[in-house]
Amino acid sequence: EVQLVESGGSLVQAGGSLRVSCAASGFTFEDYAIGWFRQAPGKEREGVTCMLRNDGSTLYADSVKGRFTTSSDNAKNTVYLQMNSLKPEDTAVYYCAAVASVMCTLAPGFYDDWGQGTQVTVSS
């Protein structure tokens, strides 16, 4: 059974940095695409980044390019989202998701398994 558990969400001031983590179990990262998504109150879930473990390729939403970076630690079966230069509009619940695929996409409907989310709040 695939399980994804996010952690690391917090309250941070605008301009600050935060790293959230996604611990995975039940599958090997190498065969999967791992995505990060976020959902603010009253808004649709938005794709933030995707990473393919088989070749390390990544995809970022325009809104976070140059500020957010995704990485992974295979030994820990954990994926990270490093967020720098945070803005109040980055405030949302952040989710990681996984799908057995060799293709990256930021479309939420493409993903099969989801974590419970972690709250990131950026104060102005």
User: What is the per-residue pLDDT across 22-50, written as a single tens digit (0 to 9) for each?
Assistant: 999 887 667 789 999 999 999 999 999 99
User: CB of 22 within 8 A of CB of 6?
Assistant: yes
Report the mean per-residue pLDDT for the chain: 94
Per-residue pLDDT, 29? 62
Distances in Å between the Cα of 122 and the Cα atoms of 10, 12, 46, 97 are: 8, 5, 17, 22
Residues in the chain: 124
Q: Tell me the mean pLDDT in the region 115-119.
A: 98
Nearest 10 degrees: Cα torsion 123, 6, 19, 50: -110
26-57 burial, b at 16+ Cβ within 10 Å, e below that, comes to ebebeebbbbbbbeeeeeebbbbbbbbbeeee
Percent of the chain exceeding pLDDT 90 equals 82
- d(CA 74, CA 79) in angstroms, rounded, equals 8
Characterize the bridge pairing of strands 32-39 and 58-60.
Answer: unpaired
- d(CA 43, CA 41) in angstroms, rounded, equals 6
Please tell me the least confidently modeled range out of 2-11, 25-34, 95-104.
25-34
Percent of the chain exceeding pLDDT 70 equals 98
pLDDT at 93 over 90: yes
